[in-house]
Structure 1
């Protein structure tokens, strides 16, 4: 009798936090995993319905953006458990593409976790990995997601980071920050204006100019900074892009608390420094029930990330 490795996956027990490069069990989504082909893997995922970040939505829906973190954790498991990559090897995301073909799969009742299986293919070329797959909830393909990631030898990573930090500090000091100034005294926008309930999850301040929002970085945030970073993590950058898009979408008739992220195509150029002011630039175009936003992160006169997001009305 042949056992289906996907059907055999369990959802009851989370893996230890260190398995997915986390400290707190609260931030762990992976419960089980298996190799299902030469370059194919299945990862069981469970996101708690009361997660302080990924369940902090005004609307009764699980947050599709939680799957970017789920796919990241899946890749951490794969590279360490199956590909013999040494733990602690530095990495960076280069690009992310996602679509949500079945938004109804993310509907929430407030007490049931978001639970499903990531089926993913991982291909490697030297130190670069391409990861592509689907998040399956029941029989529904809830999301397709792909991203590119590069691993660095520790010495090379330190050299790159030292150089980038020195250049960004010089550029910021010479007035190349785009005029945003420091953000220590900047207050966050109202949570409901970006689809949140908890003010602690708001990562942008009021616009400093039309379509330009300063990033707010709280190094004590329990989800974004659950482990040590020497740069702003991609999860916070993506959230800043989404919040900036939601803030701007109201002008196109899309209310923040009634919209979900359903598509994204994002490129990440270089690391974004924690201690240098940065801004999110956004322009939106609307059509009935949806908004497309062109988004970018600028720091010290450098465009460090850019792309497009699509926001769809939950009840158009």
Structure 2
């Protein structure tokens, strides 16, 4: 799980309104602006505080995930007139990044990095004048250099429809109060974790299977009430499962592909299972991660990993 630097560089004057990215704390808002660049095409700008959350002088890949995630509601509300209060539901998400460009350097004149997201909106589905599904494709750059690509598909649900679908589980405060207490954190999932809050896995009797730890006091993933486990937390659990499966060396998630098939509920245990897959054409390790809750498979992911050192050269 990434953490931002709660310093003076992130303020309401330098970010988009926090409501547009579904955040309560302005310190967690990474996006600084947006503008149209063509038909259903937009440029979104962001700033990354110069933190070293992933260890070894690298930006945490989850910072990229959160930057892209914040652009979903921003563009939905600002560009497609989706009213505040509507729910954005992930269907799938993927990214691939250039690991060399995660290296943090620290010029004396600034303590942040400029990030740019060029976004193409595709396969837009509307009911009347209202957008109800959307695919976003991204080219992400850092200081003008190509950093990553990403793609997501999500649906948009009006509050009344969402309440009907979720029934008694639509009450976020009630669901958070019923959340399963997090078990003891494992040390192999996030060796660089600042606190136990940042560890998303608890041990089970199976070395390839863990219980998802959901700490509803986490300042990033639960800065406002939600009625189910946030998708970004599930992605981080997948990244941590890849690390826990190969604990002998630190690994870096350089690519992920994730399909969300059902909500992961707060009030039921969720198991995270990992297995090695054949290496990709570039010879990189691939880990398959599946999340199970009861009889359901809630999410399936493929995590591509590399060892940060010495495979990632300095710039």
Q: Same fold (TM over 0.5)?
A: yes
* 2:186 equivalent to 1:217: no
Structure 1 length as normaliser, TM-score?
Answer: 0.82
Confirm or deny: 8 A CA contact 2:118 2:138 kept in the other structure.
Answer: yes
Match of 1:122 in 2: 121
Task: Tell me the CA shift for residue 77 of structure 1.
Answer: 1.4
Match of 1:291 in 2: 285
Aligned residues: 279
Match of 2:81 in 1: 84
Q: Secondary structure at the match of 2:274?
A: strand
Match of 2:269 in 1: 277
Q: Secondary structure at the match of 1:73?
A: helix
Task: Tell me the CA shift for residue 164 of structure 1.
Answer: 7.4
Alpha-carbon separation, structure 2, partners of 1:115 and 1:305? 32
Match of 1:95 in 2: 92
Task: Tell me the CA shift for residue 184 of structure 1.
Answer: 3.3
Alpha-carbon separation, structure 1, partners of 2:182 and 2:157? 36
Alpha-carbon separation, structure 1, partners of 2:27 and 2:194? 19
Match of 1:233 in 2: 230
**Residues 225 and 245 (structure 1 numbering): CA distance in 2 closer, same or farther, change over 3 Å?**
same
Deviations 1:108-135 (A, max 9, x none): 1368424210000113113110000111
Alpha-carbon separation, structure 2, partners of 1:110 and 1:303? 43
**Residues 25 and 75 (structure 1 numbering): CA distance in 2 closer, same or farther, change over 3 Å?**
same
* 2:29 equivalent to 1:37: no
Alpha-carbon separation, structure 2, partners of 1:184 and 1:243? 19
Alpha-carbon separation, structure 1, partners of 2:213 and 2:48? 25
Alpha-carbon separation, structure 2, partners of 1:184 and 1:122? 39
Match of 1:5 in 2: none
Match of 2:147 in 1: 142
Structure 1 gaps of 5+ residues are 1-11, 166-181
Match of 1:104 in 2: 100
Q: Secondary structure at the match of 2:67?
A: helix
Alpha-carbon separation, structure 1, partners of 2:283 and 2:275? 17
Task: Tell me the CA shift for residue 161 of structure 1.
Answer: 1.1
Deviations 1:211-253 (A, max 9, x none): 1110111111000111221000001111111111101023xx5
Task: Tell me the CA shift for residue 297 of structure 1.
Answer: 0.6
Task: Tell me the CA shift for residue 75 of structure 1.
Answer: 2.1
Structure 2 gaps of 5+ residues are 1-12, 127-131, 171-178
Deviates more, 1:12-21 or 1:279-288: 279-288
Confirm or deny: 8 A CA contact 1:121 1:131 kept in the other structure.
Answer: yes
Task: Tell me the CA shift for residue 78 of structure 1.
Answer: 1.2
Confirm or deny: 8 A CA contact 2:189 2:240 kept in the other structure.
Answer: no
Match of 1:260 in 2: 252
Alpha-carbon separation, structure 1, partners of 2:92 and 2:182? 32
Confirm or deny: 8 A CA contact 2:182 2:214 kept in the other structure.
Answer: no
**Residues 114 and 206 (structure 1 numbering): CA distance in 2 closer, same or farther, change over 3 Å?**
farther
* 2:60 equivalent to 1:63: yes
Confirm or deny: 8 A CA contact 1:132 1:147 kept in the other structure.
Answer: yes
Q: Secondary structure at the match of 1:43?
A: strand
Alpha-carbon separation, structure 1, partners of 2:117 and 2:84? 22
Deviations 1:244-298 (A, max 9, x none): 1101023xx5x12xx2111111100111101100010100247698421000110
Alpha-carbon separation, structure 1, partners of 2:90 and 2:212? 19
Match of 1:47 in 2: 48
Confirm or deny: 8 A CA contact 2:270 2:291 kept in the other structure.
Answer: yes
Task: Tell me the CA shift for residue 201 of structure 1.
Answer: 0.5
Alpha-carbon separation, structure 2, partners of 1:219 and 1:185? 9
Task: Tell me the CA shift for residue 67 of structure 1.
Answer: 1.6
